[in-house]
Structure 1
Amino acid sequence: MAGRATRRLSLGVRLHGGEERISGLPLPPTPPDPHDYPFHEFLVMELERGRLDALLVPQLLGTPPGVPGTAATPVFEAGTLLAGFAGATDRIGVAATTPAVSGHAEAIAHRLASLDVLSSGRTGWLADLPKDEGDELRCKLAAELLEEIHGHWRAGNKGAPDSPPPVPQGRPVLFLPAATPAERALAARHADVVLAGRRPLEHSRAWYAQTKTQAATYGRLAEELLIWTELTPLVVSDAHQVHAHHTDDVLVGTPAQIADHIEECFEQRACDGFTLSFPSLPGPLVDFVDHVIPELWRRGLFPNDYEHPTLRENLGLSHHATATVATHA
């Protein structure tokens, strides 16, 4: 589709692997052991219950180091974990952090295409840019890698021999960070979802407008990329608890207060959506699904059901991203 008739909020959750994991909470149902795969499956199913758009996982996900009694904790590779999530869920998007390493384009293209087939078009990927080069050079190399990967997918979608299988959504959804000017230029040209980090409201509004304008210089429409800011919410039942629970970078509030913040940022065009994270798991995540999501539904900000079968369509993005040439950031 060419664009969205109505702009709508989008929400994803990003696991970092460093969240405190608390077991034994009086949740219905009681969550599985927080050091096993069923715990992660429980989280993604909770997010699907709330109709969130996507879950993003790091390249390797296990119990954070230094937690007592967890020496034998399994560590899950993102692609393998997402294959499990694809079988456990029906509609939520699942995105794997994938190193953007030169010389590995064909392997990356095949792996992500296979995951998109397994998930029936619900796969995304967060490109982890190389860290061992200067900022502009590493983004230039990443852009060249992206073009090579996209070329493999185009060939596969046309049925070329030895290419990846056809991708149900045309191309897996690409999430890119934008912490530096070179990363921002790369994301403005190539990303489906730009991860903008945390900024004050007015700064976010200016950054949002500038990034959409920058995308237009590459021939992209504003609706061809989404900008997500980072938010760490912690739900409390009473407004008097807000100051008692306040910590840096955590938005503590009642469901209505957190929804107010989300609505203001979205309506003020400071973002198109949010990358949510949580200080601990599973309680704050479940509280957000139980209390904030219904408030967003009541306000008409967030859909109470998935409207389409693929992640790309649910985000309001076209079947596949606009073809581009390599960016020399």
Structure 2
Amino acid sequence: MSRQLKLGAFLMATGHHVAAWRHPDVPANAGLDFAHYKRLAQVAEAAKFDTLFVADSVAAPTHDIASRMARSDHFEPLTLLSALSAVTEHIGLIATATTSYNEPYHVARKFASLDHLSGGRAGWNLVTSDNAAEAQNFGRDEHIGHAERYSRAREFHQVVTGLWDSWQDDAFLRDKASGAYYDPEKLHVLNHVGEHFKVKGPLNVARSPQGQPVIVQAGSSEAGRELAAQTAEVVFTAQTSLASAQAFYADLKGRLPKYGRSADSLKIMPGVFVVVGQTEAEAQEKYETFQQLVEPEVGVALLGRMLGNFDLSKYPLDGPLPDLPLTESGQQSRQKLLTELAGREHLTLAELGRRIAGGRGHYSVVGTPAQIADRLQEWFEQGAADGFNVLVPHLPGGLEGFANGVVPELQRRGLFRTEYEGRTLRQNLGLARPDNRFA
């Protein structure tokens, strides 16, 4: 069978457009409506998406304009995905959990549990936190610096994956006749002592159906790329053009050999913001409907957050993006991307805020199913992507439009599955099941 692309449904309550909650077709309370998420999960699974992805932040926005954005109330991702595992059968379930404000044992235990609950469909999106406000919810006055965050993340990953190998696959005998519940020879105590963590183990969850949940990352800075090359199996990234996506793809794949890894062991899935219409004019009209709902101050507040937690409210809306220092608390790669976009197109602060109101710096395609499939096929076949993390402006309508229009077009071209290859996320992504390092 020819190489086929992978698709993730990036779910964000009311949708990715910052003004989506104001649209009449969108349930404004979607962030805490399980029936809404159940519908989304089943739409994505019927379309044979590889994964659902739920991002997270462990702080609510409190800036002056936050009360006009639907970003303050939503489910904790692992709780939500555990519930969705009971109403789906094949689709992968990926959740964000930060290495900055968690402990490795907690993360290892929760994702191993989700893998068991779902029959082998869990994935952990390892992030270092790009929201400085999180620090004050966890006993810190300031966010951890960029370099230290990545040092901690690397060791955090070592501990979590070590704990996932606490038990060999057949360690638990549960033999009633002999009275042997597990084979002590197949238990491995981690005894990790490092710069950031001291964790004895073992994990009190048996080795999971996938061996280990799939490791996902989204960092595109130099430190993020190196961590991904060493540890990630899926990478989400924001790229604004085919050329930049090709460069990122080649760079990241080129780093794998020094870690003894093959190109197929890492799937690169750029985010793509899509607005689907039966005609190009209809798609543009849909997009403009959302754009007209964006208040300039809301767009600029979102921009400040995406640039690295800067307050831009004191700058004139019709002026240029000010020169900002390199962010220590946010995503350095996203700051670079948006700064370059503003300079290249000579955008005012308000124009840049409006530009990112939907895709937040991701590649955007507004058009018919065939036009969107053309762009995805181009990136996939020209060394820019192994698949895509799909962002839609509003939910559920945007996802339904993609599932009912773009997916059949990709299937007609032989680029996307018509049936799942297996029951686990690893099987569907084409990723190997890892051996237990201690066995």
Q: TM-score range by the shorter chain?
A: 0.7 to 0.9
Residues in 2 aligned to 1:294 and 1:103: alpha-carbon distance in whole angstroms: 41
Give the residue type in structure 2 aligned to 1:45: Q
Cα displacement (A) at 1:58: 2.4
Tell me the TM-score normalized by structure 1: 0.86
Residues in 1 aligned to 2:24 and 2:40: alpha-carbon distance in whole angstroms: 15
Distance 1:321 1:192, change over 3 A: farther
Cα displacement (A) at 1:321: 8.1
What is aligned with 2:39? 42
Whether 1:167 and 2:208 are equivalent positions in the alignment is yes
Distance 1:134 1:33, change over 3 A: closer
Distance 1:21 1:48, change over 3 A: farther
Residues in 2 aligned to 1:44 and 1:124: alpha-carbon distance in whole angstroms: 15
Distance 1:14 1:240, change over 3 A: closer
Residues in 2 aligned to 1:322 and 1:272: alpha-carbon distance in whole angstroms: 27
Contact residue 14 and residue 28 of structure 2 kept, 8 A? no
Deviations 1:132-162 (A, max 9, x none): 3333322121011101111001113454274
Contact residue 258 and residue 292 of structure 1 kept, 8 A? yes
Give the residue type in structure 2 aligned to 1:156: W
Cα displacement (A) at 1:79: 1.1
SS in 1 for 2:144: coil
RMSD (CA atoms): 2.9
Q: How does 1:187-198 map to 2 (within 5 A)?
A: 187-198=228-239
Deviations 1:249-285 (A, max 9, x none): 4311100000000000000010101111111111111
Residues in 2 aligned to 1:212 and 1:178: alpha-carbon distance in whole angstroms: 14
What is aligned with 1:220? 261
2:48 aligned to which of 44, 47, 51:
51
Number of residues of Structure 1 aligned to a counterpart in Structure 2: 313
Residues in 2 aligned to 1:240 and 1:171: alpha-carbon distance in whole angstroms: 46
What is aligned with 1:7? 3
Whether 1:271 and 2:392 are equivalent positions in the alignment is no
Whether 1:259 and 2:255 are equivalent positions in the alignment is no
What is aligned with 1:119? 118
Distance 1:287 1:105, change over 3 A: same
SS in 2 for 1:88: coil
SS in 2 for 1:309: coil
Residues in 1 aligned to 2:365 and 2:219: alpha-carbon distance in whole angstroms: 22
SS in 1 for 2:9: strand
Give the residue type in structure 1 aligned to 2:422: H
Contact residue 217 and residue 228 of structure 2 kept, 8 A? yes
Deviations 1:97-132 (A, max 9, x none): 111147711111111101100000000111121453
Distance 1:103 1:301, change over 3 A: closer
What is aligned with 2:426? 312
Give the residue type in structure 2 aligned to 1:15: L
Tell me the TM-score normalized by structure 2: 0.65
Whether 1:133 and 2:144 are equivalent positions in the alignment is yes
Distance 1:236 1:322, change over 3 A: farther
Contact residue 60 and residue 76 of structure 1 kept, 8 A? no
Distance 1:154 1:46, change over 3 A: same
Whether 1:201 and 2:212 are equivalent positions in the alignment is no
What is aligned with 2:410? 296
What is aligned with 1:285? 399
Structure 2's unaligned 5+ residue stretches are: 131-142, 172-186, 189-201, 292-354
Give the residue type in structure 2 aligned to 1:175: V
Distance 1:32 1:101, change over 3 A: closer
Which is further off, 249-258 or 82-91? 249-258
Identity over aligned residues, as a percent?
A: 34
Give the residue type in structure 2 aligned to 1:48: E
Contact residue 15 and residue 277 of structure 1 kept, 8 A? yes
Deviations 1:171-198 (A, max 9, x none): 1111101221100100111001011212
Contact residue 173 and residue 312 of structure 1 kept, 8 A? yes
Structure 1's unaligned 5+ residue stretches are: 324-329
Q: How does 1:66-105 map to 2 (within 5 A)?
A: 66=67, 75-101=74-100, 104-105=103-104
Contact residue 36 and residue 74 of structure 1 kept, 8 A? no
Distance 1:254 1:227, change over 3 A: same
Deviations 1:225-251 (A, max 9, x none): 011111011101113335544664431
Which is further off, 114-123 or 177-186? 177-186
Distance 1:8 1:57, change over 3 A: same
Give the residue type in structure 2 aligned to 1:10: K
Contact residue 233 and residue 258 of structure 1 kept, 8 A? yes
Which is further off, 152-161 or 107-116? 152-161
Give the residue type in structure 2 aligned to 1:8: Q
SS in 1 for 2:427: helix
Which is further off, 110-119 or 276-285? 276-285
